[in-house]
Structure 1
Amino acid sequence: MRLRTEARRETILEVAAGVFMELGYGKASMAEIAVRAGCSKPTLYGYFPSKEELFMSVVHQRLGSEAEPIFLELPTLGDEEPGPVLTRLGECFINAITLPEAPAFKRLIMTTMTDRADAERCWELGNKQAVQIIEAYLQAATQAGRLKVKNPRVAAQQMLSLFEAEINWGGPIGFAPNLTPEMIHQASTHAVEVFLAAYGVARQIED
């Protein structure tokens, strides 16, 4: 039964991705997605209680699964050396935001999600959770004497911005850069070096 349930969920996500890309977030409806997925609306809502949660699940399926393992593990790593931990986080994060589908989803969010309530809900389900997880890690690492972070929420936001710096400013806007694993590693390493220069208690990574 579980296999069939998981298969249905994956089918719904695949169908929903197509509907969101075709119609945009605002015009896409749960009714249309249910019809195309071959299920009833109650069944669809049984898997995803709202359109916002369905949309963020689609984004996570396409982009977020690469970074999920390190994000789940991160709050427990406060006593470890920050350099390797943050570098691995950066590699996973950069890999996720440079997947071929990432620019299309970003354009979809920017151009079609014009209702503030919808945008705030999706922010709560996505970026806000990422910031909170990194914030919890930075608090733990500071308590363990590994970092010196006075405002962990701001520092978490800065960390994510540093990871994106070479991506957003290193090529044409709206297109996924073609990065090798070594280039991703270097971009993450550079970001962590800057972060630790501000918040590290000692040099944590090598050039």
Structure 2
Amino acid sequence: MQSLQQKTALPPASHDAKAEQILAAAREVFLELGYAATSMDQVAQQARVSKTTLYTRFPSKEELYTAVISAECERSGLQFMPEMFDGLPLRDILVHVGRRFVDLAWSEAAIRVHQSVAGEAMRMPEAAQLYYRAGPEKGIANYVALFTHMAERGVIVTDDPAFVARQFLAALQGGPYCQMVLGLHPHPTDEERYAFIDKAIDLFLSGAAPATR
């Protein structure tokens, strides 16, 4: 899997050490305080940069928050081109992109962000909108593009690849995910997580109906 991860990674953006320093600090502050309680001053202090340096790279808290969410998605490999998987068997493609999704969605940091956003959504819907647009919406779009590409190439057969892509992602949010979001289940090990992915994909591919004869 590691070699394929390297092969399918998007080309890195131009390196900006200060921006990465700010994003790392902002990630910690947003995780600790949530969007509403976080201030740009706190992020500057955590990152040990001047406010001028901070605002030069991220002119507003909204842009900084969006950049943090996008960076997490990119780091987890959710930003990919559909053509990168051409030539692989269907199950291998699903396992690979399924692991990318679950590795992020089931991570402690992602669940903490989800909890924070859900808690703030009613009184601060703009935070929820920023989160959704920067993270889930873009992630879903990438999977829709992949399933559309596979349908066009005949790898899958469907007249609604967007629906199939969304159902695939929904299947990967089963198992203990809901309990983890509620703090009722410990985070699974890699082995447990990948065993769940394998089972979910096999069910997704074959369905539960008996084989026709």
Q: Please, what TM-score do these two structures have when normalized by structure 2?
A: 0.74
1:164 match: secondary structure: coil
Question: Shift of residue 85 of structure 1?
Answer: 0.6
Equivalent in the alignment of 2:104: 96
Contact kept in structure 2, 1:11 and 1:37, CA below 8 Å: yes
Aligned residues: 193
Whether 1:20 and 2:22 are equivalent positions in the alignment is no
Could you report, residue by residue, the CA deviation over 1:4-49 in whole angstroms, capped at 9, with x for unpaired residues? Answer: x41x223312322333234321121224323443434442233234
Structure 2 stretches lacking a partner, 5+ long: 1-13, 208-213
Whether 1:84 and 2:92 are equivalent positions in the alignment is yes
Runs (4+) off by over 6 Å: none
Question: Shift of residue 50 of structure 1?
Answer: 3.6
C-alpha distance in structure 2 between counterparts of 1:43 and 1:169, whole Å: 40
Equivalent in the alignment of 1:161: 170
Could you report, residue by residue, the CA deviation over 1:150-207 in whole angstroms, capped at 9, with x for unpaired residues? Answer: 2222222211111111132566733663323332222112222233236xxxxxxxxx
C-alpha distance in structure 2 between counterparts of 1:12 and 1:180, whole Å: 30
Equivalent in the alignment of 1:32: 42
Percent identity (aligned): 24
Contact kept in structure 2, 1:13 and 1:58, CA below 8 Å: yes
Structure 1 stretches lacking a partner, 5+ long: 199-207
Q: Give the 5 Å matches for 1:125-204.
A: 125-169=134-178, 173-174=182-183, 177-197=186-206
Equivalent in the alignment of 1:121: 130
In structure 2, do the counterparts of structure 1 residues 98 and 146 end up closer, same or farther at CA, with 3 Å as the change threshold?
Answer: same
Could you report, residue by residue, the CA deviation over 1:40-97 in whole angstroms, capped at 9, with x for unpaired residues? Answer: 4442233234423422443455x535531x6414443255322111111112222223
Question: Shift of residue 133 of structure 1?
Answer: 0.6
Question: Shift of residue 138 of structure 1?
Answer: 0.6
What CA RMSD, in Å, does the superposition of the two structures yield over aligned residues? 2.8
2:97 match: secondary structure: helix
